[in-house]
Amino acid sequence: MNLKECRDRCLRNCSCMAYTNLDITRGGSGCAMWFGDLLNIKQLQSEGQDLYIRVSASEAELKKKSNVRLAIILTTVLGAFFGFLIVACYIRRSRRKLTDEVEDNNLSDKENKDEHEDMELAVFEFGTIAQATDSFSFRYKLGEGGFGPVYKGTLPNGQEIAVKRLSKSSGQGLKEFKNEVKLIAKLQHRNLVRLLGCCIQGVERMLVYEYMPNTSLDAFIFGQKHSEVLTWSKRFEIICGIARGLLYLHQDSRLRIIHRDLKASNVLLDSEMNPKISDFGMARAFGGDQTEANTNRVVGTYGYMAPEYATDGLFSVKSDVFSFGILLLEIISGRKNRGFYHADQSGNLIEHAWILWKEGKPLDVADDFLVGTGDLSELLRCINISLLCVQQHPEERPSMSSVVHMLGSHNELPSPNQPGFLFSKKFKAYSSPDIDRSSSRNEISLSLLEAR
């Protein structure tokens, strides 16, 4: 009888209490059952043998309930444990997020504080600027440049200000904003526009300047409406003032600064028509003995750029000297270098001035009003200086200290060589891939360069 048959036989007898294999001798088989008390179990093998004992149904049910209870307890404990882990992770993550936010706020506050300290000038509240400009009303808009719109405003103390507001669509950005603030805040000169403060709130970035009631120089030298307001003596004073301002930037300030965007619209005039150089968003500062640098991002205004800067990105103090030479020619002639047109010539203002110089008629480049009323020797001297400033090679151009000296003396001046950057309209226009058109610029095309 095998074990299964033995089990069936025991279950059919209510007196059977246990059963097992009958294996008294090794290799034996059969069935052994116990009835009543479990006696004589020594007959089982000493090495051990399974004994199947019959129990009541109530005991079996209790064991089952115990197993279920144990399973419930284990499930509850494990659920509580995992719930605790989830809550702990959530609290930890919340604390970390809160800590990060506090650190970010502290860092932002520190950056703003450091930024304000680095600027070394007053910081205006946005509400103060908005009130001063009547919420940036169009009636108070003075103009708009590469940085953004400029508004006239009046502070509560009655002081008039000019507010440059960084436009979201501006080609210039936060980098140029910070650059202008950090540079001009460190500059103090009568021929540089004075920065009164700034406003940094949210996405708003604004610069607050002293108000220049006579706007910019280009409004007076181009066109017949205001050109005769500036006599030659006043124009000569403006020329000397611009030269002294550039000399301060290049030599006498704490940092050697290259403006990189000197032009008529960036020279402002105060109530007494004194010139003040403005717009330092493109300026670069040199330290130590550095005299030149190179950039892959050429910024500025076409028509005022030196050849080495426009073509190779190389700029130095001599780049500003070239721009000053162009500006000097424009002040003398009353005409723009960019977009210059003459019936008998196809080039620009530089070429026009050079041809007249070679022909021995340099005063013909000057405005007729100035020739008839001005000091001809000073006019001739300034034309000579302008041509020296726009020489092809930087080393052939004078420094601003030499320019200031030449303007104030009556010594004989050297003769200029052929200027650089002569254009010809017969060539096809092209755009240099290295020139960033998103910076202070006017909508023009750049002609192929050819030295002649």
Query: What residues are labeled active site?
Result: 261
**Of 380, 395, 386, which is closest to residue 416 (Cα–Cα)?**
386
Question: How many Å separate Cα 30 from the centre of its chain?
Answer: 96
- Between the CA of residue 372 and those of 67, 101, 264, 353, 375, what are the distances in Å? 119, 71, 23, 19, 9
- Residue with the two structure tokens 């650190």: 103
Sign of the alpha-carbon dihedral angle for 185, 189, 190, 191: negative
Is residue 193 within 8 A of residue 281, CB to CB? The reply is: no
Alpha-carbon gap, residue 162 to 341, rounded angstroms: 34
Question: What is the residue type of 263?
Answer: K
Alpha-carbon gap, residue 324 to 242, rounded angstroms: 8
What the block records as the tokens of 102 is: 């506090």
- Between the CA of residue 356 and those of 236, 325, 352, 353, what are the distances in Å? 21, 16, 6, 5
Is residue 130 within 8 A of residue 122, CB to CB? The reply is: no
3 state SS of 16: strand
Is residue 439 within 8 A of residue 299, CB to CB? The reply is: yes
Alpha-carbon gap, residue 440 to 425, rounded angstroms: 24
